[in-house]
Structure 1
Amino acid sequence: MILQYHHVSTETPSITSIAPALFEEHMDYLANQGFEVWPLGRLVAAVRAGESLPPHVVAITFDDAYVSIYDTAFPILKRHGFPFTIFVATEYIDTNPDQYLSWNQLREMKAAGATIANHSHTHTHLLRRNAGESPDDWRRRIKADIEHAQTLIEQHLGDATKLIAYPYGEYDDDVIGIIDEMGFTGFGQQSGAVGPTSRFEVLPRFPMGGPYSAFEPLKTKVATRPMPIRTVTTSPLVGDNLRPVLTLDLLRTDLRQDQLVCYGPGGGRIEVKQVSPSRFTAQAGNDIPVGRSRYNCTMPDESGARFYWFSQLWIRKEPDGSWYPEP
């Protein structure tokens, strides 16, 4: 499974931040519990190849290239010998040393085993069209933005892996099509473990900022397993149906299906229906809110000690069809 961090600081927006002492506690836990921390590319390659993973393997990622990664997280990661990946929005590099990393800092971390990967150039909302922009013009703009970031990483650091994290964790079918066409593996911000039926254009990661960074839930999250379901291809972009239905097709019927539960926006349980021996649907009882939200579904594994986990992103525009502002 994959952890996702942003800021490692107490002086940055709380929703995307983890306190340095708590981040150190996270890393100490992984080390003390014998977790294998792999480079992200190695983890992806192993899952793609259908290899059996060790029971406790994790990858560590950071989004947005904030300077606290270098000042605070990097010394802790070096002490443990943990590899990690930084997804960089290249437009910000070398622009504000009090907030963002420099190419020299990225170069130093890369030499120490970090992977530097694509987070687009401008950190734009990839799925949003500009006023009057045709579908073809939008595609060209998005591809150019991603390609520019890739080129800058190659120029400054010597090479660039084909991994990309979506800005804001947002994607839709059209964005996925571009990423697939360009040969990238994509990463969202929906929670869950990576498995053979995961979509490699939008792999899950567990966000570790704000309330999601608490230490006790970390123990459950790093022990999760990928939900044994057929690949889910549901588009996250909500239209007229403001109570979207998520369909889960289990690959086996010998699981603890009676303990499959799903949670909607706000964390409350939502209705789960069994419509066949292996098919279940989940639907919120209230309209999902404007912005980004998720359904999170879990089920105990056979041992009862670990959980299967799957998360579905939903994106809802304003009632007038306009896009919501970022908080």
Structure 2
Amino acid sequence: MQILVTGGAGFIGSAVVRLLAERDDAVVVNVDKLTYAGNLSSVASAQTSGRYRFYQADICDRDAMLDIMRQEDITHVMHLAAESHVDRSIDGPAAFIETNVVGTFRLLDAALTHWRGLSSDRQEAFRFHHISTDEVFGDLPFDSGVFTETTPYAPSSPYSASKAGSDHLVRAWHHTYGLPAVLSNCSNNYGPYHFPEKLIPLVILNALHEKPLPIYGKGANVRDWLYVEDHARALALVATSGVPGESYNIGGRAERTNLSVVQTICDLLDAKRPRAAGKSYRDLMTFVTDRPGHDRRYAIDASKIERELGWLPVETFDSGLSKTIDWYLANEAWWRPIREKTYAGERLGQVA
């Protein structure tokens, strides 16, 4: 297999690249624009493999994408490149429309041209795997319901609306042109190499620096958490074994309130890296003004991928969170340069 991973220097994409680079049956072609969240040090382990390639390119450049697909004789596209932070989408939605909607369209256009030029057996094997989010479904009541593959779309933020648009484009290219496409929608990821502005790494690193730990509203919003390496295994299964035209929900069956997540991080850090004078990291928790349009709850029903593709998460939330904290404690060389960068008008991990 010749697998093209877009956004392969990002958080989830790098986990996919690291996983695929360990396989003997795949060449991994990483395409990333290397914007603020792209970091090639996240795929350092793959760079020693003779089955790894990297191209710095923009998915909005249709001709560049087609050239790479043809040059590398691509058999699978795993499309992870996206603008992904809800807060950033509220501050500046234009980039989300450009990358997530227009970029996906241009990548689909390139993939369709490439696919049509393949031999019949290569066409049969080809897959376009679009990786999306549970946020396209909107939100759920606090006390009931889960997202399934047939849940109607009801995106709330500019980010989720842009991802919903890209999902619809992929389905349209499958139904209209016959492009062998599969989709997956995941719950909130966490784990090593997570960009430090997201909740879990932000709380870990703010705590280590004795900074406030910001919690939106009352911290009652609920998310289903998925360890990123479990997600990468699921994505590899969907890309190689998923049925064209189908979608697969991927979740960790680990619902937690945001307040509970922050409290658990504090308690683990109290044990792993105690504060001076016996203080608790919980003392740093600070409630801040809620995010506009903040969805109440997300919850994924992952029974389809479990039943049809045999995937199950390995990590519980507690085991995965403990591993994540250990990774950040041991990898300051990765996260410190990111925390120290300043971009005019852009938020970074050290900004509450």
Same fold by TM (over 0.5)? Answer: no
Q: Could you state the TM-score of these two structures normalised by the residue count of structure 2?
A: 0.33
Q: Could you state the TM-score of these two structures normalised by the residue count of structure 1?
A: 0.34
Q: Quick one: higher RCO (CA 8 Å, sep 6+), 1 or 2? A: 2
Higher helix share: 2
Higher strand share: 1
